[in-house]
Structures are given as C-alpha cells and as structure tokens.
Amino acid sequence: MTISRSKKAFLSIAIVITVAITTGFIFINQESRDFKFTKSIDVYISLMRELNAFYVDEIDAEKLVNKGIDAMLSSLDPYTVYYPEEDSGDLDFITTGKYGGFGSLIRRSGDYIVVTNVYKGFPADQNGIRPGDEMISIDGTSLKGIASEKASDMLKGEPGTEAVLVFRRNGEEFTKKLKRERISIPAVPYYGMIDSKTGYIRFTNFTQNCIAEVRNALIDLKDKQGAESLVLDLRNNPGGLVNEAVEIVNLFVVPGLEVVSTRGRAKQYDAVFRTNRNPVAPDMPVVVLINRGSASASEIVAGALQDFDRAIVIGERSFGKGLVQVARPLSYKAQVKVTTAKYYIPSGRCIQAVDFSSRNEDGSVGAIPDSLIKTFSTRNGRPVKDGGGIIPDIVISSDMLSRFSSELYVQNMIFDFATEYFWSHPQPSTLDSLKLNENDIERFRMFLEEKKFSYKTSSESALEDLIATASEEKLYDDNSKALEQLRAGLSHSLDRDIILRKDEVIELIESELAGRYFYDAGMIKHSLARDSQVKEAITISSDRERYASLLRGPAI
C-alpha cells in the first residue's frame, strides 16, 4: 500500500511540529529552571546586602553565610558537606587518612582535655604521652574550658612545625615540645591467625593505597602463616574511596568482573569499575563481618563478594550508604563534598537506604515497607534484597552490654581505672599474661565507691516514671505501700552488680588495658576470643561443606 504525496507531506509537517513542540517544552523547562536558579541567587545576595546595611547589630557575614550553606545542604542528604578554607584539612583526612599532628586522640573531661589514645610510633607515643594524660595548655594558651574540636584544631598543623604542650599526670605537671608529623592512620591495625587454619584481618578505612596493607596482610597469612581460610572484618568501617574497594574485591576474584557502577544526573560521574588484576586468593574460603557501622565502600566489598557468591557475610545489616561524593573546588579555597551518583553492585541492587532521613536512634536502617524492597539474584541464583544496606547471609547481633557495664563505660569508670592501673603495674610480658585477679576486682569496687559511681537500672527508671504518673493522677497514696515494696525489690547495689557482671567487667577492663600496654593491635586481638560473630565466622569457614552449601544456589 502506497501513501499519497499529500499524506506524506502532512506526516512530515506533523513530525516537524511535534519535534518543535517537544523541543520547545524542553527549552522552556530549561529556561524555567535557569531562571529560578538565577532568581534564587539574586534574592540571596540582595538579602545579604540588606542585612549588612540595615540589621540592628553588626553581622558576621562569613558566619551567617556558613550557617546558611550548612542549612541548605542539610535539606539534600547527610553527605553533601561544605568545607570552608580553614576546614579543608578535614576533607583531606577523610580521603587520605593523613593529617599533620602528633598521633593522638583526645576528648573533653571536666575542665580540661584528656588523651584517650596514642598511635604507636608517632610523636605523642615517642615522647611518652599516654592515655589518661590531661592536656593543660598548648603554646601558652590554656585549654581550660576549650571544646575538644577546637583543641584538636590547635594540635593539628603543617608537618615539621612544633608546639609546646603542658600535661598533667597523677597530679603532677610536665612539659613536652613536640614536632608535628604527617600522621597516617593504619587501614589494617591488626591481622593474625585466630586458630591454626583461619586468618583474620581487621580493616578499618578505605583511604588512599589501603589495598597495599590488606594485600600484604593477606599474602603473609596465606603464604607464611598457613591460613587456609580468612575472616575479613569490616565492622565499623565507614568506607572511603571506591577504587580501593574494587581493589579489595579483586584480591579474591578474577579480572574482568564488574564490581560496582555509579549512576547519577551528571553523566560525567557515571562509571563502571571492574577488576583488572590476577587475584591473590581466588579459592580461599572468605567470611566477611559487617555491622551497622559498615558503610559505603565497606558495603561495596561485602555486597560484591556476596553477589559473586565468593564470601559468606555474617553480622548485622550494614549502614546503607550508597551515595557517591565528589570534592568540588569553590572560591577562596573552599570545597564542597557533593553527592553526584548512587552505587550499584553486581546483582543490580543499590546499597543506599530508601529513606536516609528515617533511621533508628543507633543510626541503623529503619523499617522499610515491603512495597519498596526489590529482590535480586546472586551469580548462583541466591535471592538478595535492596532497600538499605547489605543483609548478611547469617544474621548475628552484636554482643550487648548490661546497663551496669554500659554506665561504667559511659561515665569513664573503665577508662579512669585503667589509667590508675597502668601507672601502678609493670608492662605484662605478653598479651596473654594480662589477667585481672580478685584483688584487682576488689580495688575496682573500692575505686567506684571513691568516685561515687551511681546509676539507675532500666527497671528503676520505669518505676520512677510510674510513681510520677501515679502521683499526677492522685493514685500514689492508695498504692504507696505496693509501689515502695516494688522499689525495694528492684533496687540494686554495687556489690551485687559486680558479682553478677563480673566476667563482663573483667573483659572491659582487660580490653582497655590491652590497648594501653599493646596499642590498638593488642586491644583488637584481646577482643577476638570473646566475640560471638568471630566465633561463628571461624565455625563457618572451617566447615567446608556448610560453607559451600550456603553459597550454593537454589535447586532447579
């Protein structure tokens, strides 16, 4: 069937008109967006001019603009952040793990700043600074009443510069002149064998070249220490550089596999990341540990190894951060870390929580309606879901502390007692010889009495609320005898608490002391023997039949 010339002409005109109308709408929409953007900027500048000229008091324009920027960005997502020139070092630390300083961590305690940790081999450690030391002043400026964030800024600086610091230890002051160095936080603070066949790597951040630390640890465990399986611990690893995550996955899988892709509105940031090297351990059984603090690049590693059916994932649902950030330069050396895309792992699922604004109090992913969750498949056909983070193959909750032990920790009783113990006891010959005895526990009980340690149990707090409500409703007098009997029954004593929670208290104190005597590596190693998630990882990795069955797809 042929089409007449008139009909062809009509169709041609119709197509041209349709294209013109569509293009016109696109131009109109684009012009509308551009106009709104220009208009908004103009209004903002006009507002600042008016405030600067007519506000009743003199304004701090820089402070006002910074607050406005922070408020504006907070309406987008939690990860798009503005860094003025003076804070640009914070962004460098996030991406590199390096900063100019003395190699210590601090917090506010009472009127002054207290050292909470020192990194082995750096200036603070080399000059004998230890956790528990109070920091009184820096370069003649008193730190009394200074916030820990400001004190941290005062301690940081260009490598090679010096500072004079005054400390107080056990009531006596001493002065140290410290030279700042380029501090590089280890990505692998500890690795070793946790039984005769199982290697363990604690991996804490995805900073530049962290792959070298992980690769070296893996090779040492496999080739020199005889590891036949591996536990890769990504718990509380906040993530970092995506290319480093791809390199970590590549340690265990062949080249040419797509590990992660990024997709967003600005196509210049769309990318596909594939493995390109021969793996170090292509056949070694691997168990990956994650929890609610495992985010971003950690989730890429755990999720990709899960999607490839290359590892068993154990622990708790991960944080759910699947957004890509890029640092963009601004005027006057300021920077913005802006979200440009989302991560998608091999199965096609997105790590990002569906609603990052509605999390639980502990930061974990909140409840997600089933209608918003999609199911994907691993290479072997195992079902995996999106909607927020990585769901482990075997879910095991973290070991929870009792209310008593939590209060000891929060009120710094464990930390302060460890400081006293450290200066009154010599260095143990080995980590295994670090053991508290009955005299140490009794001294701790007396220490708590001296510090007037007190707290309310959850039951006591609930009862206090009940009594208050009963009083408001005029019901207390009629029920006072029963309520007071209940109060007496629920009351606790320090002696009873220590007896009931003795093992837990000993573990907390010994763990803190392990860090004092043997640094971070000692603290990590000490914790492994009592870690229920690590125990399950060892069981799974050593049972080859069960390990294989968990990775096997559904029967067809």
Alpha-carbon span 328 to 343, nearest angstrom: 19
Which amino acid appears at position 44 of this protein? Y
Q: Is 371 a known active-site residue?
A: no
User: Exactly one of 133, 152, 233, 307 is catalytic; which is it?
Assistant: 307
User: Exactly one of 137, 294, 296, 527 is catalytic; which is it?
Assistant: 296
Alpha-carbon span 312 to 278, nearest angstrom: 21
Which amino acid appears at position 229 of this protein? S
Crossing angle of helices 242-250 and 210-219, in 10° steps, is 20
User: Exactly one of 156, 229, 321, 525 is catalytic; which is it?
Assistant: 321
Q: Is 296 a known active-site residue?
A: yes
Q: Is 307 a known active-site residue?
A: yes
In total, the chain counts a number of residues equal to: 556
Q: Which two tokens stand for residue 366?
A: 């909140």
Which amino acid appears at position 334 of this protein? A
Which amino acid appears at position 395 of this protein? V
Helix (H) or strand (E) holding 95: helix 88-96
Backbone angles phi, psi at 212, to 5 degrees: -65, -40
Instruction: Tell me 267's DSSP state.
Output: G
Give me the long-range contacts of 544-548 (CB less than 8 A, separation at least 24): 544/285, 547/285, 547/312
Q: Which two tokens stand for residue 211?
A: 């792959």
Residue whose token pair is 């503005």? 82
Q: Which two tokens stand for residue 254?
A: 């062949």
CA distances from 325 to 78, 82, 338, 364, 405 (A): 11, 12, 5, 21, 38
539 in helix, strand or coil?
Answer: helix
Q: Which two tokens stand for residue 354?
A: 């569906």
CA distances from 134 to 114, 165, 366, 472, 537 (A): 4, 10, 40, 46, 40
Which residues are tagged catalytic? 296, 307, 321
